[in-house]
Amino acid sequence: MSLFNRMSDIINANMNSMLEKAEDPEKMIRLITQEMQDTLVEVRSATARHLADKKGVNQQIDSLHAKSADWESRANLAINRGRDDLAKAALAERRNCETAIAHLTAELATLDTSLSTLQDDTQKLEEKLQQARSRQKAVILRGETAKSRMQVKVQLHSPRHDDTLLKFEAYERRLDDMESQLEAWELGENSQSQGLHNEINALAADAQLEAELAALKAKQPSLASTLPI
């Protein structure tokens, strides 16, 4: 079973129960997403190690191929010099190199299979992580919307809300009474001021009439001069 399949089975088996028991589903979704992210880091690290191992194995194989060719060359040299014993020893060394190459080639095939599996797991996990992040955003948005709506509903149906509105209405009535009293006082003050203004104007008019009367009398001839002698 691949690392991705094992991790996926664990998450799928526990996700529903975790969400049902969690006091904060959004927090649990974040934790699950973080777990997937951590697993992705582990898979990528394993892939990097396998790639390094593959490079090392290839280098060993190349080195053994070179040694094998060298031992074959030495065997040919020994044969040409009439030293079959040395030629056999060189061929034995070449056989050891070929055996090691066969073992390393099998190891390389195993590494290639593991790398292919890891790369496939990495791709699948990246897709799952992307889906989880998209769902995480949607769930968080839905959660925030639900919380906001719940707060509004609580306020609308809260007895404190009704009591507050009643207090506002009582306070508004008191303000209406105070404003009415102020208007009444202002009207009274304006009425007194207008009466005083009218009286003063009347006095001024009467004084002017007295002045005009006096001026008219002054123009009239004296009563003594009009009497007969």
CATH number for 100: 1.10.287
Structural domain contains residue 31: yes
Most confident of 95-104, 116-125, 175-184: 95-104
Structural domain contains residue 91: yes
At a CB cut-off of 8 Å and minimum separation 6, what does 94 contact? 68, 71, 72, 75
Closest CA to 100 of 62, 45, 152: 62
pLDDT of 95 higher than 70 = yes
Looking at residue 35, its pLDDT comes to: 83
pLDDT of 49 higher than 70 = yes
Residue that is written with structure tokens 């105070």 in the block: 178
- Is the same domain home to 145 and 211? no
Structural domain contains residue 225: no
Looking at residue 176, its pLDDT comes to: 82
- Is the same domain home to 173 and 208? yes
- Is the same domain home to 79 and 42? yes
Distance CA 53, CA 114 (A): 11
Question: Of 135, 157, 179, which marks where a domain is finished?
Answer: 157
Looking at residue 190, its pLDDT comes to: 64
**What's the rounded mean pLDDT across residues 147-165?**
69
Read off φ and ψ for residue 162, nearest 5 degrees. -65, -40
DSSP letter for 182, please: H
pLDDT of 141 higher than 60 = yes
Q: Are 125 and 4 in contact (CB under 8 A)?
A: yes
**What's the rounded mean pLDDT across residues 10-28?**
57
Looking at residue 99, its pLDDT comes to: 94
Cβ atoms within 10 A of the Cβ of 112, count?
Answer: 13
Structural domain contains residue 222: no
- Is the same domain home to 15 and 43? yes
Distance CA 27, CA 11 (A): 15
Question: Of 126, 141, 157, which marks where a domain is finished?
Answer: 157
Single-letter residue type at 64: L
Task: Write out the residue range of the structural domain in which residue 195 sits.
Answer: 159-216
- Is the same domain home to 118 and 49? yes
Distance CA 86, CA 80 (A): 11
Would you state the structure tokens that stand for residue 5, as one six-digit string?
Answer: 């399949």
Q: How many domains, the chain?
A: 2
| H helices present in 81-158, as ranges | 84-156
- Is the same domain home to 176 and 153? no
- Is the same domain home to 210 and 150? no
- Is the same domain home to 136 and 36? yes
**What's the rounded mean pLDDT across residues 18-23?**
52
Q: Are 121 and 3 in contact (CB under 8 A)?
A: yes
At a CB cut-off of 8 Å and minimum separation 6, what does 79 contact? 87
- Is the same domain home to 100 and 114? yes
Structural domain contains residue 189: yes
Structural domain contains residue 228: no
Question: Of 137, 157, 177, which marks where a domain is finished?
Answer: 157
- Is the same domain home to 187 and 210? yes
- Is the same domain home to 148 and 168? no
Would you state the structure tokens that stand for residue 218, as one six-digit string?
Answer: 């002054």
- Is the same domain home to 165 and 102? no
Q: Is the pTM of this model over 0.75?
A: no
Single-letter residue type at 165: L
**What's the rounded mean pLDDT across residues 13-36?**
65
Structural domain contains residue 105: yes
